[in-house]
Structure formats: structure tokens, C-alpha cells
Structure 1
Amino acid sequence: MTSLAELATIVDEAASTAIAIPQLTESLPGLSVEDAYAIQALSLARRRARGERRAGYKMGLTSRAKMQQVGVSEIIWGRLTDAMRLIEGGDLVRSRYVHPRVEPEIAYIIGKPLEGDVSAAEALAAVEAVAPAMEIIDSRYRDFKFALPDVVADNSSSSGFYVGSWAKASTDVANLGIVMEVDGRPVQIGSSAAILGNPIRSLVSAARLVARAGERLEPGDIVMAGGATAAYPLTPGQYVRTTFQSLGAVAFSVVA
């Protein structure tokens, strides 16, 4: 019987070496979502032991487009570290990933502790600032295919993130037009309203879900609210730029 710690080692090494692995549920069909979150926590503990520091949380499967794309229907979450934060306007090294994709998101930075069952007003009151962002997702499983426990164990596919300029917490991000371009050509067009109808609902969910794991959103944490559109695959030579109505833009280049 493979232990959760052993499974965490497998997932962590797949991420650090950018080598695809079989789905965990292929050999362990009874793997539960609860076990998967335990594997995720153990995997991230290995990263922290190597010197990575906590940076916040990511929410996943918060739009119908994302749910349809990966074939699941439950909101999930993962953890962010400082090593996952990429320099806005800089390069993304494709060889560090298995099959990376990018999606536009809204990012929040937390100004005061937030946990448990909170209202949208309480969540907003805990926000220090908001920003345009993009997340790099990269399932470490073969063919980008997985069941819900697989993706949760794999840190909910979170691999990196870009954050643009921070705006006031009072900035209305409920329904902003979003255009993602690759080499000047629009490849995804959507709205921030695709994130649970309003991105603040994702923050409400984050406070509730991480509390189940005995954690809370702390001052300084960045919370990625989830993809507003389907994710787009990345290959070397691309220049990716996403513009958010009245909020700004985020960009990066893909290199080999």
C-alpha cells in the first residue's frame, strides 16, 4: 500500500523535474478527495523544506469553461509559494513544465485575516488591493487527463502566476471585459463575471475551504480567484498579453 507521503513525493518530483506521471487514480481508484488534499499539503511541505515560502492560495474550476475543459464540477484550491511567482513582462521557460497553459484571473492581496464562513462584504473588507493576473497551470499527469483527486493532489495544477499593477480594493471587478492575445491575435475573450458570477465569491469560497484544512487567509497572501476563460496552451516563441477592462494588462514571453 503506497502511503500518502510516498504519493506526495511522486507528485513533487514530477513537478520539479517536469516529467509526466500516470494518474494516481489509475493504480488507486479509491483515492479520495480528502486524501488528495493531504497529499497536496505534504507535497508543498517538501517545497517549503527546500526554502520556498508561502505566497497564498489559488482557486480552481471557478468558471463553467474550466469545468467543461477538465471534465469536473467542483471548486478546488491549491497553495502558492514565492518560487511560483513569475516576473510580469519577463520570460516563461517552457522546458520547466510538462504541458503548460495560461488563463486570465483576478488576484486579491489580503490585508487582514479571513477565515471560515464569511459574507462577500466581509471578504471585501479583508482585501488590501486587487490586480489583473494570469496563472500558469500544468498538470503533471500524462495527456493532461485526470480525475478530481488527481488534480487536487497535484496542487490543483497550479505552477506559476503573474500579477500586474495593484489597484484599490474598492475597484469594481465584478464584470470586466478580458482579452487574452497571443502574438497580437485574440485567443480568449471573456469577462471576470465568469468567475462564479463575481470574483469576490471566489474569495468567500477560499476563506471557507482553506479553513477546513485548519488554515486561514493571512495578511500578505495573494489569492488567485480562478480562470475567467478556458486555458490556452503555451509553446516557445509566443508573446502573451491579457488586457482587463479598466484594470490594466499582464504580459510575458515564452522561451524554450
Structure 2
Amino acid sequence: MFEVIDIAARLDNAARHAKATPQLEQPLTLEDAYRVQAASLGRRYQRGENRVGIKMGFTSRAKMAQMGIDEMIWGRLTDQMLVEDGGSIDFAAYVHPRVEPEIAFLLKAPLAGRVTPAAALAAVGGVAAALEVIDSRYENFKFSLTDVIADNSSSSGFVVGPWSDPALDLSNLGMILEIDGEARQIGSSAAILGNPIRSLVAAARLAEGAGEPLKAGDVVMAGGATAAEHLSPGNHIRLVVQALGRVEFRVRP
């Protein structure tokens, strides 16, 4: 337990001060990695941050196969990670910042345990185009699967566009990620498990399993629809999603 607390403090300090830390010396089990994540976020809660949802990772079947796993990973979102649509982030506040195009869900009702896609959709109050800022706190961007999980699954920031009707068909929406007006990634929401609602179904099960069931008002980031793009000082990031509109932010030097 003391080792978990020590690693949690180390990763929390790395994120808080944007100072890279070496890859973990000892391999963790998946269970211990999530214990470290929970303890690290617990330190944030003690400083006044509040959990406002969760993010999903490895929501691509190909990525899961590449990593040799059959389960997605997840991390916590806090109110201090939220970036206003059209706002900006400070480049110096991150170690290795990258951005991914995503779909976000806003819950209007609690959602816990093993649920059907229809039940998950019934709990959704809105859906939106979203951007996630991911940031590994490990030196040289070198880490294992459990290292990533311990590091809050690289979750660092998120930007959500205007909320739309959740009745929209999300299975195959075109997505264009632009940096400084240039299209860098072109993809589809179908890359998120074939339909992002499946990611929400998994989120309900995993969050309850951790003793933190999803509740009304929570935001769930469904996972990256394309590869992540590096961020640099001065960048203007914009995502345009078919039927959902756009979301954007800037990177301050």
C-alpha cells in the first residue's frame, strides 16, 4: 500500500508541476495500476478538484489487439481539466501534450453496471464533438500499459463543443481534426468500437466496478477516433464532426 501511495504522489507531482518522471521501475498489475490512479486523483480531490466524469482509452479493436489486451482502459476527468470551447491551454503546463478527436456524452441520469446500448442511450442528455488533451508524464514518452493506467490513462484536459440531440445516429460520423487550418487527421466515429455508444456501455460497467458509478451530470469521453497529434506553442486546434458541429482551442506559448 505504501508503494501505491508513493507512486501516486510521484505521478501527481509530475502532472502538477509538468516535470517528467522516469518510467516505473517495477511492473504493476492492472489492479495495482488502477489503485495508483485512484490514489493519485485522490490527492487532486484533496486540493479541491472534483470528478466530473471519465475518459475511455484503447477504444479501437486494433489497438487492443496490438497491446495484447481485451479490455479498454479508463481514467478520471476533473473540473480543473475542462477547457472552455474556444479557450486556450498553457503549453508549459504539460510534458508531452497531444490531442485526439473524440465524441463526448453528457448524462442526464445515473448509469451503472452492465447495461444495454438502448439503456445507455436513454441516460444521455446530450452528445458533442470533443477534443482530449493527453499527456504522458513519463520521460521520453516511454511507458508500459500499466504505467499509462497509473498515470490516469494520460488524461490531462478536455474540450467539449455544443451539446446536440443524443438521438442522432453516431455510428459513422465524419471527423476532421485541423491544426492551424490544416487537416491533420480525417476519420469516423465508427473507429470508436464501431459506435461510440459501446464505449459508454463499457464506461458504465468499469466505473461501477471501481466504486464510482456514473451519475447525472457526468461527462464521458468515448475515446480517440484517430491517432493523436502533437501540440506546439501557438497551435490552433479545431475539430469538425458531421452533424455535431465544431469544437476548438488554442495553445498559449
Q: TM-score, normalised by structure 2?
A: 0.96
Secondary structure at 1:56's aligned position in 2?
strand
Match of 2:122 in 1: 125
Deviation at 1:183, TM superposition (A): 1.2
Aligned to 1:28: 26
Task: Find 2:175's aligned residue among 178, 181, 184.
Answer: 178
Deviation track 1:171-191 (CA, whole Å, cap 9, x = no partner) reads: 221110000111111100000
Q: Which runs of 5+ in 2 are unaligned?
A: none
What is the SS of the residue equivalent to 1:152? helix
Paired letter, 1:28? Q
1:67 positional shift:
5.2
Residue 75 of structure 1 corresponds to: 72
Higher mean C-alpha displacement, 229-238 vs 57-66: 57-66
Once the two structures are superposed, the pairs formed by residues 134-149 of structure 1 within 5 Å of their partners are 134-149=131-146
Contact 1:107 1:130 in 2 (8 A): yes
Show the counterpart of 1:15: 15
Counterparts of 2:87 and 2:125, CA distance in 1: 25
| 1:57 alignment partner, SS class | strand
Structure 1 CA distance, aligned partners of 2:250 and 2:67? 29
Q: CA deviation at 1:63?
A: 2.0
Residue 59 (structure 1) aligned with residue 63 (structure 2): no
Q: Percent identity?
A: 59
Q: Secondary structure at the match of 1:167?
A: coil
**Structure 1: unaligned runs, 5 residues or longer:** none
Amino acid at match of 2:34: Y
Q: In the TM superposition, what is the alpha-carbon distance from 1:254 to its structure 2 partner? A: 1.2
CA distance 1:250–1:72, change in 2 (3 Å): farther
Pick from 100, 103, 111 the counterpart of residue 103 of structure 1: 100
1:3 CA drift (Å)? 1.5
Partner SS for 2:251: strand
Matches within 5 A, 1:86-97: 86-97=83-94
| 8 Å contact from structure 1 (residues 63, 229) kept in 2 | no
Further displaced range: 2-11 or 243-252: 2-11
Q: 1:71 & 1:207 partners in 2: Cα distance?
A: 23
- The two structures, once aligned, show a CA RMSD in angstroms of 1.5
Structure-2 residue corresponding to 1:192 = 189
Displacement, 1:145?
2.1
Structure 1 equivalent of residue 3 of structure 2: 3
Secondary structure, counterpart of 1:3 in structure 2 = helix
Report the Cα distance in structure 1 between the residues aligned to 2:80 and 2:191, rounded to whole angstroms.
28
Q: Could you tell me which residue of structure 1 aligns to residue 219 of structure 2?
A: 222
**SS class of match (1:237):** coil
Shift, 1:71, TM fit: 4.7
| Other structure's SS at 1:44 match | helix
**Paired residue total:** 252
How far the C-alpha of 1:90 sits from its partner, in A, is: 1.3
What is the TM-score with the length of structure 1 in the denominator?
A: 0.95
1:6 deviation in Å? 0.9
The SS at the match of 1:207 is helix
Give the AA of the match of 2:137. Answer: R
The separation in 1 between residues aligned to 2:142 and 2:193, in whole angstroms, is 24
* Helix, strand or coil at the partner of 2:121: helix
Using the alignment, how far apart are the partners of 2:124 and 2:146 within structure 1? 30
